[in-house]
């Protein structure tokens, strides 16, 4: 795809990255007052209302059933949402978003069996560096946070599956894809809440501050999704994707400024070792063609 508006695309992606980092910060803040499953439901339901309204207002034909690939994208993304919000409410947001942004590693690995594209030696080296970074990030965490770290990686794998599905999905407007995903993930997260949330307290929902923060989670996530979708439409997807990694920087600043979190040297080095090869893999991704990649956060 030719970059007709590269500067605008980069600014939109930067805005989207800030929106997703803000969503992460608000999610962590909400998680201090209420169950993570309520945060996930807030994210998906607000996103569904906003995306459906936007799609209808712009004359987009919504898809209910759709092809199997669309359902694979939505179901994989819904699983990723659960993983993401457990991680965001139990880990520093910079750690959660760093691990969640290992998606390029998993896309590259999955492209081998799915697309028969075997990684080159340089790609294997980048993957190895990323895995070392993951190990360094996970090692300093307390034992109770290991599950959250693994689920953040689970979100990255789920997003990779969704990306592979999108790469083979044609003929469906991007806004309809986002709305379908938001609708499916709303049903998915509600089902998980009702089936596994017997001990969940709904009392925090009576606090205006909590409701405001939960609404902010959904709004920030939707704005980030729309900004990134538009950025992919205006610029080279592989180059624009790299700009999206700035959400890790924004999240790091939120952790430092809002929560005064101390970061030891191993964690900082780990974040760098994950972000750097992830950016490189985005530029050398087997799915570099002009196909928008919609995030599932």
Is 93 inside any structural domain?
yes
Query: pLDDT for 77-121, tens place per residue?
Result: 899 999 999 999 998 898 888 888 888 888 778 777 766 777 778
Is 26 inside any structural domain?
yes
- Residue 125 token pair: 């080296």
Query: Residue 108 and residue 131: Cα distance in Å, rounded?
Result: 13
Query: How long a stretch of residues is the chain?
Result: 297
- End-to-end Cα spacing for the chain: 25
Contact 258, 108 (CB under 8 A): no
Residue 136 — pLDDT band, cuts 50, 70, 90?
confident
Query: Residue 170 and residue 154: Cα distance in Å, rounded?
Result: 26
Classify residue 102 by burial, with Cβ atoms within 10 Å: 0-12, 13-18, 19+: buried
CB within 8 Å of 115: residues ≥ 6 apart: 164, 286
- Residue 22 token pair: 């803000």
Query: pLDDT for 183-222, tens place per residue?
Result: 999 999 999 999 886 788 888 888 999 999 999 999 998 8
Buried b (16+ CB within 10 A) or exposed e, 175-185: bbbbbbbbbbb
- Orientation angle between helical segments 174-196 and 68-90, nearest 10 degrees: 60
Share of the chain above pLDDT 70, in %: 85
Query: pLDDT for 1-12, tens place per residue?
Result: 444 567 788 888
Residue 36 — pLDDT band, cuts 50, 70, 90?
very high
For residue 210, CA distances in Å to 30, 89, 145, 265 come to: 6, 14, 24, 34
pLDDT score at 148 = 87
Report the mean per-residue pLDDT for the chain. Answer: 81
Give residue 148's domain range: 6-283
Helix (H, G, I), strand (E, B) or coil at 254: helix
pLDDT score at 228 = 78
- Residue 121 token pair: 């030696």
- Residue 146 token pair: 């290991």
Q: Residue 159 above 70 pLDDT?
A: yes
pLDDT score at 2 = 44
Of the ranges 12-21, 150-159, 202-211, 276-285, which one carries the lowest mean pLDDT score? 276-285
CB within 8 Å of 283: residues ≥ 6 apart: 238, 239, 242
Residue 233 — pLDDT band, cuts 50, 70, 90?
low
Helix (H, G, I), strand (E, B) or coil at 296: coil
> How many domains in the chain?
1
CB half-sphere exposure, 205, CA atoms < 13 A: 10
pLDDT score at 39 = 93
pLDDT score at 209 = 92
Is 88 inside any structural domain?
yes
Is 291 inside any structural domain?
no
More confident residue, 75 or 267: 75
Q: Is the pTM of this model over 0.85?
A: no
Query: Residue 240 and residue 237: Cα distance in Å, rounded?
Result: 5
Helix and strand numbers (H, E) in the chain are 12, 0
Is 259 inside any structural domain?
yes
Query: Residue 290 and residue 297: Cα distance in Å, rounded?
Result: 21
Is 23 inside any structural domain?
yes
pLDDT score at 254 = 92
More confident residue, 153 or 236: 153
Is 267 inside any structural domain?
yes
Contact 256, 250 (CB under 8 A): no
Q: Kindly state the average pLDDT of the residues 274-280.
A: 81
Is 116 inside any structural domain?
yes
């Amino acid at each position: 795809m030719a970059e007709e508006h590269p500067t605008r695309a980069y600014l939109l992606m930067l805005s989207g990255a800030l929106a997703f980092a803000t969503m992460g910060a608000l999610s962590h803040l909400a998680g201090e007052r209420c169950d993570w499953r309520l945060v996930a439901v807030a994210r998906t339901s607000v996103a569904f209302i906003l995306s459906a309204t936007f799609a209808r207002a712009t004359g987009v034909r919504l898809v209910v059933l759709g092809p199997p690939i669309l359902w694979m994208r939505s179901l994989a993304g819904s699983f990723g949402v659960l993983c993401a919000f457990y991680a965001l409410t139990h880990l520093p947001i910079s750690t959660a978003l760093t691990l969640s942004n290992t998606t390029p590693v998993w896309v590259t690995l999955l492209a081998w069996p799915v697309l028969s594209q075997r990684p080159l030696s340089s790609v294997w080296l980048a993957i190895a560096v990323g895995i070392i970074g993951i190990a360094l990030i996970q090692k300093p965490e307390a034992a109770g946070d290991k599950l959250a770290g693994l689920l953040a990686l689970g979100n990255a794998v789920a997003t990779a599956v969704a990306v592979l599905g999108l790469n083979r999905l044609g003929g469906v407007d991007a806004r309809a894809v986002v709305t379908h995903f938001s609708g499916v993930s709303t049903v998915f997260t509600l089902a998980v809440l009702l089936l596994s949330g017997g001990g969940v307290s709904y009392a925090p929902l009576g606090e205006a501050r909590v409701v405001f923060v939960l609404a902010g989670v959904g709004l920030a996530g939707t704005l980030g999704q729309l900004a990134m979708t538009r950025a992919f439409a205006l610029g080279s997807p592989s180059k624009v994707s790299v700009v999206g990694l700035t959400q890790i920087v924004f999240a790091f600043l939120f952790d430092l400024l809002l929560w005064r979190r101390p970061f030891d040297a191993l964690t900082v080095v780990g974040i760098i070792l994950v972000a750097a090869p992830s950016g490189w893999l985005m530029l050398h991704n087997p799915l570099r063609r002009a196909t928008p990649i919609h995030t599932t956060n």
